[in-house]
Amino acid sequence: MVDPSDANLPPADTAAPSVTVHDVAREAGVSQSAVSRAFTPGSSLAADKRERIIAAAARLGYRPNPLARSLIRGRSGIVGVGVGNLANPFFVETLQLLSDCLDRTGLRLMLFPAQGEPSIQDVLHYRIDALVLLSVSLSSMLATECRRAGVPIILYNRTTDQRETSCVVGDNAIGARSVAAHLLAGGHQRLAFMAGSPDASTNIEREAGFTAYLAEQGHPAPLRECGHFAFDAAMAATRRLLLRPDRPDALFCANDTMALAAVTVARHEFGLDVGREISIVGYDDVPMAAWPGFALTSYSQPASLMVDETVRLIHALRQSPKSHEAVVCPGTLVIRGSSRPVRVEQFTR
Amino acid sequence: MVDPSDANLPPADTAAPSVTVHDVAREAGVSQSAVSRAFTPGSSLAADKRERIIAAAARLGYRPNPLARSLIRGRSGIVGVGVGNLANPFFVETLQLLSDCLDRTGLRLMLFPAQGEPSIQDVLHYRIDALVLLSVSLSSMLATECRRAGVPIILYNRTTDQRETSCVVGDNAIGARSVAAHLLAGGHQRLAFMAGSPDASTNIEREAGFTAYLAEQGHPAPLRECGHFAFDAAMAATRRLLLRPDRPDALFCANDTMALAAVTVARHEFGLDVGREISIVGYDDVPMAAWPGFALTSYSQPASLMVDETVRLIHALRQSPKSHEAVVCPGTLVIRGSSRPVRVEQFTR
DNA sequence: CCCATCAATGAATACATATTCACGGATATT
DNA sequence: AATATCCGTGAATATGTATTCATTGATGGG
């Protein structure tokens, strides 16, 4: 426990007084303005003097105070990142990549839970350069808040009908159609779709693409259950599907977490040989999908590319706040053992 | 792509000028100082006047600018969080909990990749209230940097011999001994330990506890392989173990990621009935351990408690920077199907 | 050779707030 | 009742930097 007596000690400003522009100016024999200019690319300053200042700064271990700089520039070099549920490894990978990539380009990453709208208010007051929403839908209230504060929003893996909002997404339509084509090529007859959150744009687009392709090929609409993008809910949804008299022989899940749940239930509770008696396909291609125990066929979203595009977009928006974009990144169908790749004669049950 | 012509537009200060203390002061008919005091708990201000100011502020939508506040207070209310590899779900859960908990207590979370030491320098200049290192070892250089800047360090799930450094950890010694006791109670004869990173304090403590308990009970030292806390390396390590003529009948892995790899290899590559022919135990009790397909026995680290303690510690250190602590949180052995719970007659191979 | 243009530079100011200082008045202490 | 103490308050200052302003010297075109 904290010793209460310690609390009576003076504030204990043990922090060494930080070295400021003035210290550097004195050391280099120039004005404070010159030092500031030395650290501002593109400002008018003689080359030799700039060098001398940089040298003096290095000698003293000086670095510009980002808080003071932010205060005057009106932007902090911080990017706010709102996350919802990190249960999906795809977003974990994204977060890690985003952290690296922002860091490398000199931006800081402020993480906050996107549930509590009040906290977003606080984050906005840091004069952040951009707001990235990871796996989170955009409320129109937040949109107007940001517009008023002049903070550009980038939706990651979500779309919206809000104007002036950028987004970076995978090609859900093409992805879902690829999966449908793959399953039809495998000779499957009774297809099912497991939805995630019904109102998430990713889910809507994937479901629409899947269903549309089946219809185009003259197939009936797939069975449908909702797994809410979650493992437990997906287990329950899978049970409902597999207990039907017209049990499906192929199941496309709107993300891998649900697909892994489906594989687990099909194999352990129904004793099915996944990949032969039933094909199961996921979306995202998370690391676990490649584990030998699952060998999950999955449509791979290119997290690395999507993150690169996101960061590129952030920098573009820093330059010109109007340059909104909707970036769509292509993915790849990764075929593994959980789905039958080619048509074979029908199994008897 | 970005239209280059856009880049020539003026900076487009579309951002609405933010409302400041002065605006509120004018609105409420008081001085700027009074407004500032109204938002500083514990400062001397008449109750009715404070109320009037708060009301005026609410009317104008005013909130104190955290950047200006940080600049003058010398601390920003930001907590730096350095992460290494987020492959282990335990750290993902921790990060999510930490994000929530900090947010709820009015602190901001700045995330950065702990690899690049230069970026830590930048983060330190934000006058952060504390630095939390998640699954990252502390270099002595960083330690002195932080001491000089007056930034307290909290190691999460790591210990160190550095003075003046707090840490929050699980009870690795007790945990490892519990696992050893559990395996011996199951009647296992040939035990093995799969190490993570050899120099990580968690690994060292878990290995020491495991080995010590076996020695105390008159058992020989366990076999040992190193899986580096990673899935692929753990698969290889498992193969090496299971190919030995004196194949172990029980395996304790220093974390769940490796244990899941071990289960996968034992079952799919060696056709072993995990939980009968071989017992496998992990550490952390990540969500996947509970999946029916694994049913992994694991020593559960209480992430929620550890995070609460971490945040409590941060606030304590804000009050009195000297109140370092080493917090040890108790865990629980969660027994599932991957380990034989009680002694049974020996299987013949 | 002269004037206009421009790069370089230091002084001054602004950014938005917290805090110290000084002061008047009210309260408490003896 | 006189003095010490304390609270509430606004003016002034500090935080650390970017940027504007005005000045200077130099350059270039005619």
Q: Does B100 touch chain A (CB under 8 A)?
A: yes
Detail the protein residues whose CB sits closer than 7 A to any atom belonging to strand C.
A 30-34, 37, 44-47, 49, 68, 71-72; B 17-18, 20-22, 32-33, 36-37, 39-40, 43, 62-65, 68-69, 71-73
Which chain B residues contact residue A7 at CB under 8 A? 319-320
- Residue B108 to residue A92, Cβ atoms within 8 A: no
Six token digits for residue B126: 């934000």
For A172, B35, B42, B46, the CA distances from B28, given in Å and listed in that order, are 53, 9, 20, 14
Give which of B184, B142, B169 is closest to B283, Cα–Cα.
B169
Six token digits for residue B78: 């930001």
Over range A224-239, report the average pLDDT.
Answer: 98
**In B181-278, where do the E strands start and end?**
191-195, 223-226, 250-253
Which chain A residues contact residue B3 at CB under 8 A? 323
pLDDT at residue A5 greater than cutoff 90: no
Cβ atoms of B278 and B313 closer than 8 Å = no
Distance CA B268, CA B294 (A): 12
**In B103-256, where do the E strands start and end?**
108-113, 130-134, 153-156, 166-170, 191-195, 223-226, 250-253
Give which of B34, B13, B58, B74 is closest to B318, Cα–Cα.
B74
Whether A186 and A225 share a structural domain: yes
Q: Per the domain annotation, does A343 fall within a domain?
A: no
Percent of the residues in chain A that have a pLDDT greater than 90, as a whole number: 81
CA of A71 to C1' of C15 (A): 5
Distance CA A260, CA A266 (A): 10
Cβ atoms of A284 and A253 closer than 8 Å = no
Distance CA A279, CA A341 (A): 9
Q: Which amino acid is at B141?
A: M
Whether A142 and A204 share a structural domain: no
Q: Find the domain containing A116 and state its range.
A: 75-170+303-331
Whether A178 and A284 share a structural domain: yes
Whether A195 and A276 share a structural domain: yes
Question: What residue has token string 């945990």?
Answer: B175
Q: Per the domain annotation, does A346 fall within a domain?
A: no
Whether A160 and A252 share a structural domain: no
**Nearest CA of chain A to the CA of B217: how many Å?**
36
Please tell me the least confidently modeled range out of A73-77, A127-131, A323-327, B116-120.
B116-120
Distance CA A263, CA A282 (A): 10
Q: Does B73 touch chain A (CB under 8 A)?
A: no
Q: Does A121 touch chain B (CB under 8 A)?
A: yes
Whether B53 and B107 share a structural domain: no
Angle between helices B89-104 and B256-268 (to 10 degrees): 150
- Residue A6 to residue B291, Cβ atoms within 8 A: no
Q: Does A96 touch chain B (CB under 8 A)?
A: yes
Nucleotide D10: closest residue by CA–C1': B31
DSSP label at residue A278? B
- Residue A293 to residue B263, Cβ atoms within 8 A: yes
Six token digits for residue A345: 């004669």
Q: Per the domain annotation, does A208 fall within a domain?
A: yes
**Confidence class of residue A218 from pLDDT cuts 50, 70 and 90?**
very high
Q: Does B67 touch chain A (CB under 8 A)?
A: yes
Cβ atoms of B233 and B200 closer than 8 Å = no
For A33, A62, A274, B47, B158, the CA distances from B204, given in Å and listed in that order, are 53, 39, 40, 57, 10
Six token digits for residue B24: 């509120």
Whether B224 and B267 share a structural domain: yes
Which chain B residues contact residue A113 at CB under 8 A? 96, 99-100, 103
Q: Per the domain annotation, does B293 fall within a domain?
A: yes
Nucleic strand D under 7 Å from the C-beta of A72: yes
Whether A60 and A105 share a structural domain: no
- Supply the pLDDT for residue B348: 46
Q: Does A108 touch chain B (CB under 8 A)?
A: yes
Which chain B residues contact residue A236 at CB under 8 A? none
CA of B78 to C1' of D5 (A): 39
Nucleic strand D under 7 Å from the C-beta of B68: yes
Which chain B residues contact residue A64 at CB under 8 A? 125
- Residue A12 to residue B322, Cβ atoms within 8 A: yes
Which chain A residues contact residue B263 at CB under 8 A? 293
Give which of B250, B139, B135, B243 is closest to B197, Cα–Cα.
B135
For the domain that residue B202 is a member of, what is the CATH number?
3.40.50.2300
Domains contained in chain A, number:
3
Give which of B238, B244, B288, B241 is closest to B263, Cα–Cα.
B238
Question: Which residue of chain B comes nearest to A78, CA vs CA?
Answer: B110
Q: Which residues numbered 175-204 in B keep a CB inside 8 Å of some CB on A?
A: none
Q: How many CA atoms does the CB half-sphere of A38 hold within 13 Å?
A: 26
Of B63, B125, B320, the CB nearest to A125: B63
- Supply the pLDDT for residue B342: 75
Q: Which nucleotide is nearest to A30 (CA to C1')?
A: C10
* Cα pseudo-dihedral B143, B209, B306, B139, rounded to 10: 10
Q: Does B74 touch chain A (CB under 8 A)?
A: yes
Whether B155 and B141 share a structural domain: yes
Q: Which residues numbered 6-25 in A keep a CB inside 8 Å of some CB on B?
A: 6-7, 9, 12-16, 18
Q: Could you say which of B43, B64, B85 is where a domain stops?
A: B64
Q: Per the domain annotation, does A336 fall within a domain?
A: no
| Exposed/middle/buried for residue A41 (C-beta within 10 Å: 0-12, 13-18, 19+) | exposed
- Residue B103 to residue A112, Cβ atoms within 8 A: yes
Whether B50 and B80 share a structural domain: no
- Residue B111 to residue A116, Cβ atoms within 8 A: no
CA of A17 to C1' of C19 (A): 18
Question: What residue has token string 């995330």?
Answer: B111
Higher pLDDT, B91 or A114: B91
Question: What residue has token string 């707090």?
Answer: B166
Cβ atoms of A283 and A206 closer than 8 Å = yes
pLDDT at residue A124 greater than cutoff 90: yes
Q: Which amino acid is at B40?
A: T
Q: Which nucleotide is nearest to B62 (CA to C1')?
A: C16
Q: Which residues neighbour B286 within 8 Å (Cβ) at sequence distance 6 or greater?
A: B88, B89, B90, B93, B256, B257, B298
Q: Which nucleotide is nearest to A33 (CA to C1')?
A: C10
The 3-state secondary structure of chain A, one letter per residue: CCCHHHHHCCCCCCCCCCCCHHHHHHHHCCCHHHHHHHCCCCCCCCHHHHHHHHHHHHHHCCCCCHHHHHHHHCCCCEEEEEECCCCCHHHHHHHHHHHHHHHHCCCEEEEEECCCHHHHHHHHCCCCCEEEEECCCCCHHHHHHHHHHCCCEEEECCCCCCCCCEEEEECHHHHHHHHHHHHHHCCCCCEEEEECCCCCHHHHHHHHHHHHHHHHCCCCCCEEEECCCCHHHHHHHHHHHHCCCCCCCEEEECCHHHHHHHHHHHHHCCCCCECCCEEEEEEECCHHHHCCCCCCEEEECCHHHHHHHHHHHHHHHHHCCCCCCEEEECCEEECCCCCCCCCCCCCCC
Residue count of chain B, please give it. Answer: 349
Six token digits for residue B296: 């992994």
Whether A217 and A279 share a structural domain: yes
pLDDT tens digits for range A134-147: 988 888 888 988 99
Q: Per the domain annotation, does B193 fall within a domain?
A: yes
Query: In which residue ranges of chain B is pLDDT below 70?
Result: 1-15, 343-349
Nucleic strand D under 7 Å from the C-beta of A39: yes
Q: Per the domain annotation, does B69 fall within a domain?
A: no
Count of A-B CB contacts under 8 Å = 180
Distance CA B209, CA B188 (A): 18
pLDDT at residue A162 greater than cutoff 50: yes
Q: What is the pTM of this model?
A: 0.91
Distance CA A179, CA A281 (A): 7
Question: What is the dihedral sign for C-alpha A324, A124, B75, A27?
Answer: positive
Distance CA A35, CA A20 (A): 10
Q: What is the largest CA-CA distance in chain B?
A: 90
Distance CA A34, CA A44 (A): 9
Whether B287 and B182 share a structural domain: yes
Q: Per the domain annotation, does A69 fall within a domain?
A: no
pLDDT at residue A274 greater than cutoff 50: yes
- Supply the pLDDT for residue A40: 92
Q: Which nucleotides of D are covered by protein (CB under 7 A)?
A: 7-12, 14-20
For the domain that residue B19 is a member of, what is the CATH number?
1.10.260.40
